[in-house]
Chains A and B, each alone.
Chain A
């Protein structure tokens, strides 16, 4: 398995009224071919901003910096003045959470697909583009394709719209697909069918996927590796099944214990306190105020990332043993 994508020490800064705000700090992860990375975290942890940073879709005025950013062997130099969006053109596609709002309501699915195909393959004839569009629709399970070419987003259900959006993402022939909570707004059965579709695309097209979700138990079933984010930092990462069964960072542990499957005396086990605001400057570990295992040392300095066997990384001074 060759390494497809690597990012080291990515930082994202957003402009606000009170000055620049760091929303992601020192994000580092890598992805092999045909691998699925699940990024889990609650709202406000910075996962969406990190993903938008990788594709140059941040709001105007944002700033990104990194030590290493590499896709399929081609490196993106941080000191050059060109936009990070050039990296996106080299093979990253993005799908969004609510498919209904991310498709243009004025154009049919076929028109949007052919437009994307033509944008990515200049010089292609319109007829060839339409044939390609039909092929893509069949790949994502929208059959009969001829029918769906003419339909508009408002005529389709959420699941079908999400398939159409995946089709648009595939039209750019990506190597890496970033899926930002694509099934959160969908029903259970539809959710499962979209996950199956993405899994089959990974097998047949050799795609790699970064799947962002707040539902850690969902991702455990199909992701290869997991990364958990808190307050703009990755606090733990490693193989998915290993992490959920033997979580070592206190936040990951607490998150898993919140799930409905982990009841204690017929009650849920919430995490005390609340997620810190992104502009709250802390000296030590961001999770320390809510951590049941915190020590005074945790408040003094930000923990370093410890690497253990079987490629687990934990950003904690006192990772828990199983």
Chain B
């Protein structure tokens, strides 16, 4: 049996499976929230706006697992339907922001020249702009329905993705297979849609996952301030707003929606990090 020695002067790396733990936990958390949201009508024993006049502001009990709020509504039911709203709104916001970001980023990166300068300066302006005040002003003008919230947050959340897509496309567009495809007659649209964007999909996907977390946070912030989702439609944000008045007394009103927001953001971040570092390197 030959004696083996180490072939490398460099120290051996430790166990590298930590990032995949992140992915597992993240998927678990978000999966759980998704199931809760999907099965909200089944799991909720009460309607989210049905009033139980005898149990105003009651702590968690067997009847109301998460207690009731100041109007006697079951917090658990509101939590579950609020999950629906928050998750859906977050996803739709990122769909709009994603489409805009990919469009602007790919046009900018692919064509370059004056179009690139124009689009990137526009992106810079949007990034420097106090977007929050823009959102507040627009909401004051057109009102704060669910649709408007999704639209506003989507139209102001694409800039980071646009920059990322542009950077990826700049790297990819001089790859051999792109040049050869151009030589055999592929149109610009085909190159962008079928070759460039799919090959950039890994970092795009990670950014969009993290973007859902930001979107949920943004919506919750607006709802908390009263300019987001309007009651009686439950959203974790406006549940926190309702809980403000009775913070010291009714801890259950703020804890559960807060926990919901926390778990959603944590879960998406864990998934994003887990996807980003499958084995210590970029995806």
Q: A residues engaging B (CB < 8 A)?
A: 9, 11-13, 52-53, 56-67, 78-85
Docked-complex contact B8 and A65, CB < 8 angstroms? no
- B113: CB under 8 A from chain A? no
Tell me which residues across on chain B come within 8 A of A66, comparing CB atoms.
2
- B185: CB under 8 A from chain A? no
- B11: CB under 8 A from chain A? yes
Docked-complex contact A85 and B9, CB < 8 angstroms? yes
Docked-complex contact A60 and B2, CB < 8 angstroms? no
Other-chain residue from B5, B9, B11 in contact with A63 (beta carbon distance below 8 A):
B5
Complex: chain A residue closest to B4, CB-CB: A63
Docked-complex contact B9 and A83, CB < 8 angstroms? yes
Q: B residues engaging A (CB < 8 A)?
A: 2-13
Complex: chain A residue closest to B13, CB-CB: A60
A12-B7 CB under 8 A given contacts A60-B12, A60-B13: yes
- For this complex, 30 residue pairs linking A to B, each with C-beta atoms less than 8 Å apart, are A9-B2, A11-B2, A12-B7, A13-B4, A52-B7, A53-B7, A56-B7, A56-B9, A57-B9, A58-B7, A59-B8, A59-B10, A60-B10, A60-B12, A61-B8, A61-B12, A62-B7, A63-B4, A63-B6, A63-B7, A64-B6, A66-B2, A78-B2, A79-B3, A82-B5, A83-B5, A83-B9, A84-B5, A84-B6, A85-B9
- Cα(A11)–Cα(B1), bound, Å: 12
- Cα(A80)–Cα(B12), bound, Å: 18
Tell me which residues across on chain B come within 8 A of A12, comparing CB atoms.
7
Docked-complex contact B3 and A84, CB < 8 angstroms? no
Return B280 CB to nearest CB of chain A, in Å. Answer: 12
Other-chain residue from B3, B7, B12, B13 in contact with A78 (beta carbon distance below 8 A):
B3
- Cα(A26)–Cα(B13), bound, Å: 28
Tell me which residues across on chain A come within 8 A of B8, comparing CB atoms.
56-62, 83
- Cα(A79)–Cα(B2), bound, Å: 9
Tell me which residues across on chain A come within 8 A of B9, comparing CB atoms.
56-57, 83, 85
- Cα(A81)–Cα(B10), bound, Å: 14
Complex: chain B residue closest to A13, CB-CB: B4
Complex: chain B residue closest to A55, CB-CB: B9
Tell me which residues across on chain B come within 8 A of A11, comparing CB atoms.
2
Top 4 nearest A-B pairs by Cβ distance? A62-B7, A58-B7, A65-B2, A85-B9
Docked-complex contact A64 and B12, CB < 8 angstroms? no
Other-chain residue from A57, A65, A82 in contact with B4 (beta carbon distance below 8 A):
A65
Q: Can you name 19 extra interface pairs (CB under 8 A) apart from A13-B4, A59-B10, A80-B5?
A: A11-B2, A53-B7, A56-B8, A60-B8, A60-B11, A62-B7, A62-B8, A63-B4, A63-B5, A63-B6, A64-B5, A65-B4, A65-B5, A66-B2, A78-B5, A83-B5, A83-B8, A83-B9, A85-B9
- Cα(A78)–Cα(B13), bound, Å: 23
Tell me which residues across on chain A come within 8 A of B3, comparing CB atoms.
65, 78-79
Return B162 CB to nearest CB of chain A, in Å. Answer: 30
Tell me which residues across on chain B come within 8 A of A62, comparing CB atoms.
6-8
Return B14 CB to nearest CB of chain A, in Å. Answer: 11
- Cα(A80)–Cα(B6), bound, Å: 10
Tell me which residues across on chain A come within 8 A of B6, comparing CB atoms.
62-64, 83-84
Complex: chain B residue closest to A79, CB-CB: B3
- Cα(A13)–Cα(B8), bound, Å: 11
Tell me which residues across on chain B come within 8 A of A83, comparing CB atoms.
5-6, 8-9
Return A227 CB to nearest CB of chain B, in Å. Answer: 20
Return B1 CB to nearest CB of chain A, in Å. Answer: 9
